[in-house]
């Protein structure tokens, strides 16, 4: 009796297995485009999406976070040394300087160097020197230092990063 029950049980399991694995009535020729999921993104697009997820500065127009952070820390170093000439190399001209509800555009490195002490006030310097690049605020306008004292961004072709505005 045990052998018969075992055989019946094996038979039932086999039938269940076979009916569960039975192929759909459609042949390969009957498969429509609605039955197939196609991924249209390439590996290159996927890697770009992955980079954007790892790049906290992306929304601010910064494509290379490593390059941006290096530039940020160089600017910080040069400001701490009051190296006007080196700081001027990290300005994306024209630089917008906002002060007491008025705006001024600094158009050249020479003009920036001449006005450095009026642009990089004590408060602006402190905001930058106390700012960790990883703690900056980022939005579509750029990367903000402190309470908006300095804004960093990228050139129109995204090939260079630098200071785009100062609020003192």
Compute mean pLDDT per 10 residues along the chain, 168 residues long, and list them.
56 54 49 44 49 86 96 98 98 95 96 97 98 97 97 92 96
pLDDT of residue 6: 53
Structure tokens at 37: 């999921």
- pLDDT for 117 equals 96
Topology of domain 64-167 in CATH is Nuclear Transport Factor 2; Chain: A, (3.10.450)
Q: Is 92 in contact with 153 (CB distance < 8 Å)? A: yes
> Is the link from the previous residue into 5 a cis peptide, with omega within 30 of 0?
no
Q: Which of 159, 128, 156, 138 is nearest to 55 (CA)?
A: 138
**Does this model's pTM top 0.85?**
no
As a whole number of angstroms, the distance between CA 113 and CA 118 comes to: 10
User: For every residue of 4-67, which 3-state class applies, written as one string?
Assistant: HHHHHHHHHHHHHHHHHCCCCCCCHHHCCHHHCCCCCCCHHHHHHHHHHHHCCCHHHCCCCHHH
With H, G, I as helix, E, B as strand and everything else as coil, classify residue 164. Answer: strand
Token pair belonging to 15: 């039938």
Query: Helix/strand/coil (H, E, C) string of 126-143?
Result: HHHHCCCHHHCEEECCEE
The domains of the chain are located at 64-167
What per-residue confidence (pLDDT) applies to 72?
Answer: 98
Q: At what angle do helices 122-129 and 65-80 cross, to 10 degrees?
A: 130
Predicted pLDDT of residue 66: 97
Do 164 and 95 touch, CB atoms closer than 8 A?
yes
């Amino acid at each position: 009796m045990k052998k018969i029950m075992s055989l019946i049980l094996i038979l039932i399991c086999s039938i269940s297995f076979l009916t569960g694995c039975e192929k759909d009535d459609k042949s390969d020729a009957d498969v429509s485009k609605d039955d197939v999921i196609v991924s249209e993104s390439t590996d290159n697009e996927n890697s770009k999406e992955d980079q954007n997820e790892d790049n906290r500065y992306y929304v601010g127009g910064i494509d290379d976070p490593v390059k941006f952070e290096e530039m940020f820390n160089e600017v910080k170093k040069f400001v701490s040394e009051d190296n006007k000439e080196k700081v001027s190399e990290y300005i994306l001209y024209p630089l917008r300087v906002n002060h007491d509800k008025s705006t001024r555009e600094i158009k050249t490195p020479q003009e920036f160097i001449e006005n450095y002490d009026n642009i990089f006030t004590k408060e602006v310097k402190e905001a930058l020197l106390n700012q960790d690049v990883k703690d900056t605020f980022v939005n579509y306008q750029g990367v903000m230092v402190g309470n908006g004292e300095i804004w960093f961004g990228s050139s129109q072709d995204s090939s260079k990063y630098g200071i785009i505005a100062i609020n003192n």
